[in-house]
């Protein structure tokens, strides 16, 4: 799979780890990303707040560049960029007169032929591949004991006509990716409530109020971490978390979905930028690794015990050793003997 | 953000219907909107208050009527200045510009070292080749807005 | 030889002010074929009509032309006068010199010329008129009522009490409909079943009502006065003639955990069951989908499993081999009274509707709909009338009621108001507060629609006497938070956000037509709107008829409505049906299509375009009686005289009586020929 890549301004700055982890998992999933040459800022919230046309024209410039560079799909990991680019595509296609106005301002050809994809949509489509690769790994999956809340925020799911790929009130695409990674998505209430977005700098008190409610709800539903797909949400929940945590509360690590996938695929933490967070991820990962190792040891011990028992029975009754698989236990008909002995 | 707005979205809509410019532009309500789109997603009549508020902000700026809260305006202006200059957002520049405009000089100063250590503050601005293109687009839109004075789509 | 009489009406000043009636009389007197011509101030009056009759008799007229107003106004009047004078009424036509002339022109000279021209065209037409006889169709004085809810029951009783027979078809195992599920009804707070069940028993015992329960309409053929209905009697697995309603089978059934439809999912039932104790008929039905025995058979297990109900039945009435059977009924009129279903709060929705994700898509156990609340409140319900939380069975201390869920929400697909929810929500708060004196009842509303008699007073009672708290504003989110259900709303009257920690939330969901309504409507050839509600013939003046002759409607299948209105509508429908049955024969205008079977080529293009299904196939036989062809014939009972077949017939074999090509061309050719 080959896509155009629109990083957006935060990928080289405050959300560097999102970019790093995305680039780390792409080859494993068979995705080739080609960065759009000479891309410019999409305008985020500031452009459309000032001027509707500017809010369409800036992202449209990037779509026009993508078109000229031969792409029919562009991946935009930042939720705001995704929403702006997809919004521009929608506006040019549907608002009367917009196509002409944008064309006039852009002064470059633009056929509005490029589709815009978010990282979540991409990973949802790749979930079977992720699941396969997770199952094929030899080390025990450290995410097996992880309860994690999927936080979508606003711009990945609204307005529904522009974002399109999931339900805007009770989305489930990230949960599917989490499950494919072998972790446990929790059912919680704040998945699509706003974190305070662009007020991070100019009105931090609002961000603290809104984001604190999100973290509190995730915690009360048993989440050990929150997974996001938006740099601004990450910043509000991670960078600003110190202002929200009350005394005695466990900090809540905030992971990018791409980092979660990277961990599931067994990539080392440094390649995923996990050291760049303000809320440390190390303690949680260490704990999970330990739990996974303990479970693997317990499973191995059980399998060894079961194999011993089966061997003893076989010795007593002279029957061939039957594979100690779960299927053998529930099926009334005897399972065929498998070559190679007990495989738990 | 409805809880913090003197006029939440439905009251803004009512004021617009009643042509009460004094109410709509009389406080910072329209500037507190984050365009989270929840109002538009829930409205049973498909009224799209988020778009209406966007348009009101555009109107406020072009007519010079509404006092956007200093911080909010400072942030947006700093943002646009940055991308006019370099085509992309150079976050250090953005924050510095914002501080100067807003007068909020000490904001996040304590956090800067932590950001640097984590490699999240690129100190070198990156100017794209097409930065002139971006400047041109921003200025063209501004001209269209002030000259046209017509319908806001 | 034509002997036409011309009568020019002044219509007071309406015609005479612009048209010189005397000149019209003079000019037309000399038109070939006219033997009599006169004018009068008000031709439609008694003296005016007397003039027409006298002229017919004295001059032996073969045709009459009345130059006056529109045929829509007085064609019937003048045709009646002609008939009284012994002239076939279809030899009398009107020339419209009012709406088509005097009312729209100002120049007297030109208007009079035009009036004369108009007169000439009709005179020329009438020369080609032939006498036509009114079509008389026999009427079967039996009515089919589809739907046994309160509307269907009322219509059936009224028609039967009026002397005609009724066949009542109900798809559920018992009649009673949704009214039987309610706890109390507004505004009287009568126990719903107490006022309904006597009617149900009356239906059962009425000598002129035949009840087919657990049955559906399979097909309907024919036309007004002469329908043939085929009804599918679904297999109950119980012989209705042998069963005596003892209930032993139900007691013996080991499956007791099936969600009860009658209890709207709040309670459980057995696989063989009677939906409620007062069911009519009191005969159980076996749910083959959930029955252990039938499930085993479907899995392919050879051995007979369970069978406890058959063992328990002392009458030997259980019949596992029973199959659906068909009966045909001949009826003269059909009443559609299929009622409604409630909009679902779940995620799965039919095309065009969206669910309420913001309210949890029905996943939160303590968020229920109005019907479920009725069952909890009902003394005969699964909790014995105690209102208890589905999640933990505890009584709720705070109940939030949300109005307009689905209704008035174009974004979700239902733009209309469901009419009854404001009233039943007020009722719910009263029922709740009466059982839980210190409980809190909070209602979120947009408007209060309480337009019926005593209705507004009823809602005020809920607020003033029973202490329900009404908050004007919509609810934006509902979700479970630990033990409570969080409700986010807004109080627009005070301008504040409101968050309630509720123990239970009741959603007042929209009323929709029954599932399968589109298929039923197509079987009956009646039209329905984009929501599935059946279309009435005219929303103001013909609310209980459809545009298909002989098919009537009653109750919520046409639009959301409450019980008093459904009952009133059902009685009105019954009156229409009895009116239809009041004569032994139905008279219909003979201006219908007629096929010349000699020239018909049997292409049946007419059949393809006929909106009413009025074309029949007739075999053409040779001298020896062998079939050598098929031609079309129009059934005069069904034909509405629309003329579409006339337009498409390639061999020009079909003509509209009273509007033949000859007559129309004569009219056209008369223009400008004099």
- Measured between beta carbons, which residues in chain C are less than 8 angstroms from residue A167? 357
Chains in contact with chain C (at least 3 beta-carbon pairs closer than 8 A): A, B
Query: Helical H runs in C300-345?
Result: 308-312
Q: Tell me the nearest-neighbour CA distance from C484 into chain A, angstroms.
A: 13
Question: Which of C353, C495, C498 is the best residue to mutate to test the B interface, defined by the most B CB atoms within 10 Å of its own CB?
Answer: C495
Dihedral of the alpha carbons of B129, B134, B136, B142, in degrees to the nearest 10: -170
Q: Are A310 and A324 in contact (CB under 8 A)?
A: yes
pLDDT above 70 coverage of chain C, percent: 100
Whether B106 has a pLDDT exceeding 70, the answer reads no
User: CA nearest C414 in B: which residue?
Assistant: B44
Candidate from A168, A169, A189 with C-beta closest to C481:
A189
Candidate from C412, C490, C497 with C-beta closest to B44:
C412
Q: What is the pLDDT of residues C15-47, one digit of tens each?
A: 999 999 999 999 999 999 999 999 999 999 999
Looking at residue B63, what is its pLDDT?
79
Q: Tell me the nearest-neighbour CA distance from B93 into chain A, angstroms.
A: 12
- β-pair partners for C145: C168, C335
- β-pair partners for C222: C227
**Cα A143 to Cα C549: distance, rounded to the nearest angstrom:** 70
pLDDT band at C64 (very low <50, low <70, confident <90, very high): very high
User: CA nearest A54 in B: which residue?
Assistant: B141
- Measured between beta carbons, which residues in chain B are less than 8 angstroms from residue A11? none
User: How many helices, marked H, and strands, marked E, lie in chain B?
Assistant: 9, 0
pLDDT above 90 coverage of chain C, percent: 93
Q: Are C223 and C635 in contact (CB under 8 A)?
A: yes
Q: Tell me the nearest-neighbour CA distance from A181 into chain B, angstroms.
A: 27
Chain C neighbours among A 194-233 (CB < 8 Å)? Answer: 217, 220
Query: Are C142-339+518-581 and C342-512 in the same CATH fold?
Result: yes
Chain B neighbours among C 352-411 (CB < 8 Å)? Answer: 358, 404, 408-411
Q: If you average pLDDT over residues C160-183, what whole number do you get?
A: 97
Candidate from C358, C409, C497 with C-beta closest to B3:
C497
Q: Is C514 helix (H, G, I), strand (E, B) or coil?
A: coil
Q: Tell me the nearest-neighbour CA distance from A14 into chain B, angstroms.
A: 5
Residue C199 contacts B, CB cutoff 8 Å: no
Looking at residue A9, what is its pLDDT?
85
Sign of CA dihedral A138, A142, A145, A149: negative
Whether C531 has a pLDDT exceeding 80, the answer reads yes
Euclidean distance between the first and final Cα of chain A, in Å?
A: 35
Looking at residue A13, what is its pLDDT?
77
Whether B77 has a pLDDT exceeding 90, the answer reads no
Those residues whose C-beta lies under 8 Å from the C-beta of residue C30, and which sit 6 or more positions away, are none
Name all domains of chain A by residue range, CATH numbers in brackets: 2-117 (1.20.1050.140), 126-290 (3.40.50.11810)
Other residues' Cβ atoms within 10 Å of the Cβ of residue B13: 19
Three-state secondary structure readout of A211-264: HHHHHHHHHHCCCCEEEECCHHHHHHHHHCHHHCCCCCCCCCCEEEHHHHHHHH
Residue at token pair 């562009």: A74
> Strands of A73-75's sheet, edge to edge?
A32-35, A2-5, A73-75, A115-117
Token duo for residue A147: 């309860």
DSSP type of residue B127: -
Domain covering C142-339+518-581 in this structure, CATH number: 3.50.50.60
pLDDT band at C272 (very low <50, low <70, confident <90, very high): very high
Helices B131-148, B49-63: crossing angle, 10 deg rounding: 90
Looking at residue A187, what is its pLDDT?
94
Q: Which of C533, C493, C342, C481 is nearest to C424 (CA)?
A: C342
Candidate from C409, C490, C495 with C-beta closest to B44:
C409
User: CA nearest A196 in B: which residue?
Assistant: B34
C98-C102-C108 Cα angle (round to 5): 150
Residue ranges of chain B whose CB lies within 8 Å of a chain C CB: 2-3, 8, 10-11, 38, 42-46
DSSP type of residue C444: E
pLDDT by position in tens, chain A (length 344) = 899 999 988 887 778 899 999 999 999 999 999 999 999 988 877 777 678 888 899 999 999 999 999 999 999 999 999 999 999 999 999 999 999 999 988 888 899 999 999 999 999 999 999 999 998 887 777 788 899 999 999 999 999 999 988 999 999 999 999 999 999 999 999 999 999 987 887 788 999 999 999 999 999 999 999 999 999 999 999 999 988 888 888 899 999 999 999 999 989 888 999 988 999 888 888 888 888 888 888 888 999 999 999 888 888 776 555 554 444 444 444 444 444 344 33
A73 to A28, A35, A70: CA distances (angstroms):
20, 12, 9
Q: Is A83 helix (H, G, I), strand (E, B) or coil?
A: helix
Residue C494 contacts B, CB cutoff 8 Å: no
Q: Tell me the nearest-neighbour CA distance from C344 into chain B, angstroms.
A: 17
Q: Tell me the nearest-neighbour CA distance from B44 into chain C, angstroms.
A: 5
Those residues whose C-beta lies under 8 Å from the C-beta of residue C271, and which sit 6 or more positions away, are C253, C255, C258, C286, C287, C290, C291, C292
H or E element: which one contains C341? Answer: strand C340-342
Dihedral of the alpha carbons of B32, B38, B40, B45, in degrees to the nearest 10: -130
User: CA nearest B46 in A: which residue?
Assistant: A159
Q: Are A43 and A73 in contact (CB under 8 A)?
A: no
Residue A189 contacts C, CB cutoff 8 Å: yes
Question: Which of C479, C487, C501 is the best residue to mutate to test the A interface, defined by the most A CB atoms within 10 Å of its own CB?
Answer: C479
Question: Which of B27, B29, B44 is the best residue to mutate to test the C interface, defined by the most C CB atoms within 10 Å of its own CB?
Answer: B44
pTM of the full structure? 0.83
- Measured between beta carbons, which residues in chain C are less than 8 angstroms from residue B42? 358, 474, 476
Number of residues in chain C: 674
* DSSP assignment of B69-85: -HHHHHHHHHHHHHHHH
- β-pair partners for C506: C368, C401
Chains in contact with chain B (at least 3 beta-carbon pairs closer than 8 A): A, C
Q: What is the pLDDT of residues C368-401, one digit of tens each?
A: 999 999 999 999 999 999 999 999 999 999 999 9
Q: What is the pLDDT of residues C358-368, one digit of tens each?
A: 999 999 999 99
Fold of C593-657: Alpha-Beta Plaits (3.30.70)
Residue at token pair 């919680």: A188
Mean pLDDT, chain B, rounded, equals 80
Cis-peptide, bond into residue C177, ω within 30° of zero: no
Q: Tell me the nearest-neighbour CA distance from A213 into chain C, angstroms.
A: 12
Whether B146 has a pLDDT exceeding 50, the answer reads yes
Those residues whose C-beta lies under 8 Å from the C-beta of residue C576, and which sit 6 or more positions away, are C544, C545, C552
User: CA nearest C479 in A: which residue?
Assistant: A189
Domain definitions of chain C by residue range: 4-126, 142-339+518-581, 342-512, 593-657
Those residues whose C-beta lies under 8 Å from the C-beta of residue B43, and which sit 6 or more positions away, are B49, C411
Domain covering C342-512 in this structure, CATH number: 3.50.50.60
pLDDT band at B150 (very low <50, low <70, confident <90, very high): very low
Candidate from B11, B42, B45 with C-beta closest to C358:
B42
Interface size B-C, in CB pairs within 8 Å, comes to 23
Chain B neighbours among A 184-203 (CB < 8 Å)? Answer: 193-194, 196-199, 201-203
pLDDT above 70 coverage of chain B, percent: 80
Token duo for residue A194: 């706003």
Q: Tell me the nearest-neighbour CA distance from B113 into chain A, angstroms.
A: 12
Q: If you average pLDDT over residues C107-119, what whole number do you get?
A: 96
Encode burial over C545-565: b for 16+ CB neighbours within 10 A, e otherwise: bbebbbbbbbbbbbbbbbbbb
Whether C517 has a pLDDT exceeding 80, the answer reads yes
- Measured between beta carbons, which residues in chain A are less than 8 angstroms from residue B152? 52
Residue at token pair 């007042």: C508
- β-pair partners for C586: C137
Looking at residue A14, what is its pLDDT?
79
Q: Are A146 and A183 in contact (CB under 8 A)?
A: yes
Those residues whose C-beta lies under 8 Å from the C-beta of residue C146, and which sit 6 or more positions away, are C152, C169, C217, C334, C335, C336, C337, C338, C520
Pairing of strands C285-286, A73-75: unpaired
- Measured between beta carbons, which residues in chain C are less than 8 angstroms from residue A217? 481
User: CA nearest A168 in C: which residue?
Assistant: C357
User: CA nearest A60 in B: which residue?
Assistant: B137
Q: Which of A325, A337, A244, A226 is nearest to A284 (CA)?
A: A226
Query: Helical H runs in C60-149?
Result: 71-84, 108-126
Phi-psi region at A95: left, alpha or beta (left = phi > 0; alpha = psi -120 to 50): beta
Q: Which of A101, A118, A102, A171 is nearest to A8 (CA)?
A: A118
Question: Which of B137, B138, B139, B144 is the best residue to mutate to test the A interface, defined by the most A CB atoms within 10 Å of its own CB?
Answer: B137
pLDDT band at C611 (very low <50, low <70, confident <90, very high): confident
User: How many helices, marked H, and strands, marked E, lie in chain C?
Assistant: 17, 34
Mean pLDDT, chain C, rounded, equals 95
Chain A neighbours among B 21-50 (CB < 8 Å)? Answer: 32, 34-38, 40-41, 50
Q: Determine whether the interchain pair C410/B8 forms a contact, defined as Cβ–Cβ distance below 8 Å.
A: no
Q: Determine whether the interchain pair C476/B42 forms a contact, defined as Cβ–Cβ distance below 8 Å.
A: yes
Q: Determine whether the interchain pair B130/A38 forms a contact, defined as Cβ–Cβ distance below 8 Å.
A: yes
Whether B119 has a pLDDT exceeding 90, the answer reads no
Residue at token pair 């009770």: A170
* DSSP assignment of C325-337: EEEEEEESEEEE-
Domain covering C4-126 in this structure, CATH number: 3.40.50
**Cα B99 to Cα B79: distance, rounded to the nearest angstrom:** 12
Looking at residue A341, what is its pLDDT?
41
pLDDT band at B153 (very low <50, low <70, confident <90, very high): very low
Q: Tell me the nearest-neighbour CA distance from B35 into chain C, angstroms.
A: 17
**Cα C401 to Cα C507: distance, rounded to the nearest angstrom:** 6
User: CA nearest C358 in A: which residue?
Assistant: A169
Whether C226 has a pLDDT exceeding 60, the answer reads yes
Those residues whose C-beta lies under 8 Å from the C-beta of residue C651, and which sit 6 or more positions away, are C599, C600, C601, C603
Q: Tell me the nearest-neighbour CA distance from B131 into chain A, angstroms.
A: 8
Number of residues in chain A: 344
Looking at residue A320, what is its pLDDT?
57
């Amino acid at each position: 799979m080959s896509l155009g890549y629109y990083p957006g301004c935060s990928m080289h700055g405050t959300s560097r780890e999102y970019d790093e982890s995305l680039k780390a998992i792409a080859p494993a999933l068979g995705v080739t990303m080609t960065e759009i040459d000479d891309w410019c800022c999409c305008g985020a919230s500031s452009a459309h707040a000032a001027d509707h046309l500017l809010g369409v024209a800036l992202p449209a410039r990037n779509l026009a560049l993508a078109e000229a560079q031969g792409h029919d799909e562009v991946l935009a990991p930042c939720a705001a960029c995704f929403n702006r680019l997809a919004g521009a595509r929608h506006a040019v296609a549907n608002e009367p007169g917009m196509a002409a106005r944008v064309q006039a301002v852009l002064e470059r050809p633009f056929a509005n032929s490029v589709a815009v994809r978010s990282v979540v949509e991409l990973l949802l489509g790749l979930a079977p591949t992720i699941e396969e690769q997770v199952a094929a790994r030899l080390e025990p999956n450290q995410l097996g004991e992880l309860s994690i809340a999927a936080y979508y925020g606003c711009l990945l799911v609204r307005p529904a006509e522009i974002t399109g790929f999931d339900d805007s009130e009770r989305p489930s695409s990230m949960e599917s990716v989490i499950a494919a990674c072998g972790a446990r998505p929790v059912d919680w209430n704040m998945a699509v409530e706003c974190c305070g977005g662009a007020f991070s700098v100019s009105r931090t008190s609002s961000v603290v109020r809104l984001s604190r409610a999100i973290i509190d709800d995730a915690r009360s539903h048993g989440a050990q971490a929150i997974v996001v797909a938006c740099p601004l949400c990450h910043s509000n929940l991670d960078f600003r978390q110190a202002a929200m945590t009350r005394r005695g509360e466990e900090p809540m690590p905030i992971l990018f979905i791409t980092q979660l996938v990277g961990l599931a695929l067994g990539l080392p933490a440094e390649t995923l930028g996990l050291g760049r967070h303000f809320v440390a991820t190390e303690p949680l990962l260490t704990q999970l690794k330990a739990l996974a190792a303990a479970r693997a040891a317990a499973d191995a011990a059980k399998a060894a015990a079961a194999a011993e028992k089966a061997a003893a029975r076989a010795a007593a009754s002279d029957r061939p050793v039957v594979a100690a698989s779960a299927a053998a236990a529930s099926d009334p008909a005897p399972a065929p003997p498998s070559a190679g002995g007990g495989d738990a | 953000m409805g809880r913090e707005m003197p006029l939440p979205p439905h009251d803004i809509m009512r004021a617009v219907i009643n042509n009460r410019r004094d109410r709509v532009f009389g406080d910072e309500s329209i500037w507190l909107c984050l365009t989270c789109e929840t109002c538009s997603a829930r409205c049973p009549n498909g009224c799209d208050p988020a778009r209406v508020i966007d348009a009101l902000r555009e109107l406020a700026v072009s007519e010079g009527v509404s006092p956007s809260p200093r911080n909010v305006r400072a942030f947006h202006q700093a943002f646009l200045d940055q991308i006019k200059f370099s085509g992309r957002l150079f976050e250090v520049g953005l924050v510095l510009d914002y501080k100067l405009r807003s007068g909020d000089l000490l904001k996040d100063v304590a956090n800067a070292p932590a950001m640097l250590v984590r490699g999240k503050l690129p100190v070198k601005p990156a100017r794209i080749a097409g930065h002139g293109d971006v400047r041109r687009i921003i200025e063209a839109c501004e001209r269209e807005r002030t000259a046209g004075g017509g319908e806001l789509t | 030889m034509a002997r036409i009489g011309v009568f020019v009406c002044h219509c007071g000043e309406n015609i005479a002010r612009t048209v010189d009636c005397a000149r019209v009389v003079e000019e037309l007197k000399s038109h070939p074929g006219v033997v009599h011509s006169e004018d009068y101030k008000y031709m439609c009056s008694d003296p005016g009509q007397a003039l027409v009759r006298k002229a017919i008799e004295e001059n032996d007229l073969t045709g009459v032309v009345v130059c006056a107003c529109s045929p829509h106004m007085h064609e019937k009047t003048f045709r009646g006068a002609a008939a009284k004078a012994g002239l076939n009424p279809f030899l009398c036509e009107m020339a419209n010199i009012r709406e088509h002339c005097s009312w729209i022109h100002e120049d007297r000279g030109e208007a009079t010329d035009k009036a004369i021209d108009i007169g000439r065209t009709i005179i020329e037409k009438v020369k080609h008129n032939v006498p036509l006889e009114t079509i008389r169709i026999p009427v079967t004085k039996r009515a089919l009522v589809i739907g046994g809810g309160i509307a269907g029951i009322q219509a059936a009783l009224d028609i039967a009490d009026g002397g005609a027979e009724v066949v009542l078809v109900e798809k559920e195992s018992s009649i009673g409909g949704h009214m039987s599920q309610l706890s109390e009804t507004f505004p009287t707070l009568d126990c719903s079943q107490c006022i309904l069940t006597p009617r149900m028993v009356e239906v059962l015992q009425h000598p002129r009502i035949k009840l087919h329960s657990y049955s559906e309409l399979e097909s309907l053929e024919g036309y007004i006065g002469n329908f043939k209905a085929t009804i599918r009697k679904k297999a109950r697995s119980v012989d209705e003639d042998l069963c005596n309603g003892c209930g032993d089978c139900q007691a013996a059934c080991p499956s007791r955990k099936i969600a009860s439809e009658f209890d709207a999912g709040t309670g459980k039932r057995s696989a063989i069951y009677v939906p409620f104790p007062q069911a009519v008929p009191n005969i159980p039905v076996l749910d083959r989908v959930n029955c252990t025995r039938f499930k085993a058979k479907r899995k392919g297990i050879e051995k007979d499993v369970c069978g406890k109900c058959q063992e328990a039945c002392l009458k030997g009435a259980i019949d596992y081999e029973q199959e659906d059977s068909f009966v045909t009924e001949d009826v003269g009129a059909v009443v559609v009274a299929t009622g409604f279903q409630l909009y679902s709060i779940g995620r799965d929705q039919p095309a065009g509707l969206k669910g309420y994700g913001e309210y949890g898509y029905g996943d939160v156990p303590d968020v229920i709909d109005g019907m479920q609340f009725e069952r909890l409140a009902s003394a005969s319900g699964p909790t014995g009338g105690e209102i208890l939380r589905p999640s933990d069975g505890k009584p709720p201390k705070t109940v939030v009621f949300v109005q307009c869920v689905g209704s008035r929400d174009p974004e979700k697909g239902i733009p209309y108001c469901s009419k009854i929810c404001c009233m039943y929500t007020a009722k719910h708060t009263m029922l709740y507060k009466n059982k839980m004196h210190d409980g809190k009842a909070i209602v979120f509303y947009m408007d209060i629609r309480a337009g019926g008699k005593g209705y507004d007073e009823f809602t005020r009672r809920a607020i003033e006497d029973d202490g329900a708290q009404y908050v004007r504003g919509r609810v934006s989110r509902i979700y479970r938070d630990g033990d409570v259900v969080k409700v986010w709303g807004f109080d627009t009257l005070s301008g504040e956000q409101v968050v309630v920690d509720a123990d239970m939330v009741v959603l007042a969901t929209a009323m929709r037509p029954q599932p399968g309504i589109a298929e039923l409507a197509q079987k009956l050839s009646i039209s329905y709107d984009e929501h599935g509600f059946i279309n009435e013939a005219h929303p103001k003046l013909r609310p209980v008829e459809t545009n298909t002759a002989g098919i009537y409607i009653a109750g919520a299948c046409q639009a959301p409505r409450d019980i008093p209105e459904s009952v009133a509508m059902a009685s009105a429908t019954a009156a229409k049906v009895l009116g239809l049955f009041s004569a032994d024969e139905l008279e219909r205008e003979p201006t219908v299509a007629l096929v010349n079977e000699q020239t018909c080529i049997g292409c049946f293009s007419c059949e393809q375009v006929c909106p009413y299904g009025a074309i029949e196939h007739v075999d053409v036989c040779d001298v020896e009686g062998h079939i050598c062809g098929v031609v079309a014939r129009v059934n005069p009972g069904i034909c509405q005289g629309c003329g579409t077949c006339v337009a498409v017939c390639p061999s020009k074999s079909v003509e509209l009586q009273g509007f033949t090509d000859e007559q129309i061309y004569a009219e056209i050719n008369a223009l400008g020929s004099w």
